[in-house]
């Protein structure tokens, strides 16, 4: 009896008349996955569908360890052990850094791997800005806080939508190292990422999303090494798909 951690099957999603996801299927078992692709291909919609946030109308199936997520409210999805770092951070402007973290702390059952102290250890910059409000942080600091906030829910699965956006190279480096450690601790990551360096160093399995479908699966090594592949799937020329 081993259900995969996350199983997405034939997922279709619509915003109004726009058919954004067209039959997406994949599983996350023991390995992290990165989903790459050009802009406007439906990657963020996929996250929204999984998390049940501002839900597009969706059909198909999304299961976490066998429990169906479609149709569930997002707070219940979060309680199933799914953490989320949304694109654009979505912080609470009136709460300070510390309040953000303490609010989330201990909200969830299960192992308490994460504490605010550990988040501060991961992002020392945040420790310096403990008392500052969400709105007073710089872009990169906001990103750190959004990640820290998601980690504090002690998720088994962490969905991150462009976590490296706006972060300085050195911080990204630290982040990659942290996530590798977390991987070893058992956290599984579904990563949406434009920064190929981040995507390839965090996940070996690379799904390429084009026009609402998983067009191809490849490995980090292959993607990193093959400029033709990059040009075809991530370049700016329109992609012919038949």
Partner 1 sequence: MLPGERRAILGPNGAGKTTLFNVIAGDLAPSAGRVELFGEDVTTLPSRARARLGLARTYQQSRLLLGLTVENSIYLSILGVRKGHLRPVVLPRRDEELRERARAAAGRVAISHKLDEVVGSLSHGEHRQVALAMALASEPKILMLDEPASGLSRGERTLLTDLLLALDREITLILIEHDMDVALRVAERVTMMHEGRVIVEGTPSEIRADKLVHELYLGTAFGDE
Partner 2 sequence: MNPLRWAPKQRLERCIALGALVLVAVWPALGLNAYWSHQIFLQTFLFGIAAASLIFLSAYGGMVSLAQTALFGIAGVIIGNLATKGGAGGTSKGLHLGWDPTVAVVVAVVMTTAIGLIFGLVAARSAGIYFLMITLTFSVIATYTLGQVTKISGFSGIGGISSYTPGWLGDVLAHPDRLYYLALGVAVAVYVLIRYIVRTPFGLSLQGVRDEPVRMSSLGYNVALHRTLAFGFAAFVASLGGILYVWWSGQIAPGNVDLPGTINLLVMAVIGGLVRIEGAWLGAFVFIVIQNYVRDFAVPGLSFGGTLFGGSFNTIVGIIFLVIVLASPAGLMGAWDRAVAELSRRRGPPRTADEPAPGPGS
Residues that bind partner 1 (CB under 8 A): 15, 18, 36-41, 44, 87-88, 125, 128-129, 137-141, 143-144, 162, 165-174, 194-197, 230-231, 234-237
Cα 56 to Cα 45, 51, 82, 214: the distances in Å are 8, 11, 19, 18
Q: Judged by CB, which is closer to partner 2: 20, or 187?
A: 20
For partner 2, what does the binding mask look like between residues 157 and 196, x meaning CB under 8 A? ----------------------------------------
Question: From the CB of 64, what's the least distance to partner 2, in Å?
Answer: 26
The answer to the question of residue 19 lying near partner 2 (CB under 8 A) is yes
Q: Burial, 102: exposed, middle or buried (Cβ in 10 Å; 0-12, 13-18, 19+)?
A: middle
Question: From the CB of 233, what's the least distance to partner 1, in Å?
Answer: 9
Distance CA 89, CA 147 (A): 8
The answer to the question of residue 211 lying near partner 2 (CB under 8 A) is yes
Q: Judged by CB, which is closer to partner 1: 67, or 136?
A: 136
CB within 8 Å of 71: residues ≥ 6 apart: 52
Question: From the CB of 70, what's the least distance to partner 2, in Å?
Answer: 18
Nearest Cα to Cα of residue 200 among 26, 41, 35? 35
Distance CA 221, CA 201 (A): 9
Q: Judged by CB, which is closer to partner 2: 40, or 124?
A: 40
The answer to the question of residue 42 lying near partner 2 (CB under 8 A) is yes
- Contact partner, 23, from partner 2, partner 1, none, Cβ < 5-8 Å per class: none
What residues form DSSP beta bridges with 62? 8
- Contact partner, 211, from partner 2, partner 1, none, Cβ < 5-8 Å per class: partner 2
Cα 106 to Cα 17, 77, 111, 122, 172: the distances in Å are 41, 16, 10, 18, 27
Alpha-helical runs (H) found in the chain:
43-51, 74-79, 97-104, 116-122, 124-128, 139-151, 169-185, 196-202, 220-225, 227-234
Quickly count helices (H) and strands (E) in the chain: 10, 10
Q: Judged by CB, which is closer to partner 2: 18, or 111?
A: 18
Q: Which of 40, 88, 110, 139 binds partner 2 (CB under 8 A)?
A: 40
The answer to the question of residue 212 lying near partner 2 (CB under 8 A) is yes
Distance CA 204, CA 31 (A): 8
Q: Binding segment for partner 2 among 38-46, 81-89, 149-157, 229-237 (CB under 8 A)?
A: 38-46
- How many residues belong to the site for partner 2 (CB under 8 A)? 12
Contacting positions for partner 2 (CB under 8 A)? 14, 16-20, 22, 40-42, 211-212
């Amino acid at each position: 009896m081993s259900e995969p951690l996350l199983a997405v099957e034939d997922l279709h999603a619509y915003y109004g008349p726009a058919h954004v996801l067209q039959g997406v299927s994949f599983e996350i078992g023991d390995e992290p996955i990165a989903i790459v692709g050009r802009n406007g291909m439906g990657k963020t919609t996929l996250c929204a569908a999984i998390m049940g946030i501002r839900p597009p109308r969706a059909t198909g199936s999304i299961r976490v360890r066998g429990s169906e997520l479609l149709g569930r409210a997002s707070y219940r999805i979060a309680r199933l052990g799914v953490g989320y770092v949304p694109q654009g951070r979505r912080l609470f402007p009136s709460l300070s850094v510390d309040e953000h973290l303490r609010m989330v702390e201990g909200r969830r059952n299960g192992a308490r791997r994460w504490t605010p102290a550990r988040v501060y250890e991961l992002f020392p910059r945040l420790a310096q800005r403990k008392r500052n409000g969400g709105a007073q942080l710089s872009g990169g600091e906001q990103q750190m806080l959004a990640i820290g906030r998601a980690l504090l829910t002690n998720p088994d699965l962490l969905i991150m939508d462009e976590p490296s956006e706006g972060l300085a190279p050195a911080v990204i480096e630290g982040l990659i190292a942290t996530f590798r450690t977390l991987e070893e601790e058992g956290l599984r990551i579904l990563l949406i990422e434009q920064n190929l360096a981040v995507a390839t160093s965090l996940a070996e399995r690379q799904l390429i999303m084009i026009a609402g479908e998983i067009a191809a699966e490849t490995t980090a090594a292959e993607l990193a090494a093959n400029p033709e592949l990059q040009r075809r799937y991530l370049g700016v020329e329109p992609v012919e798909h038949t």
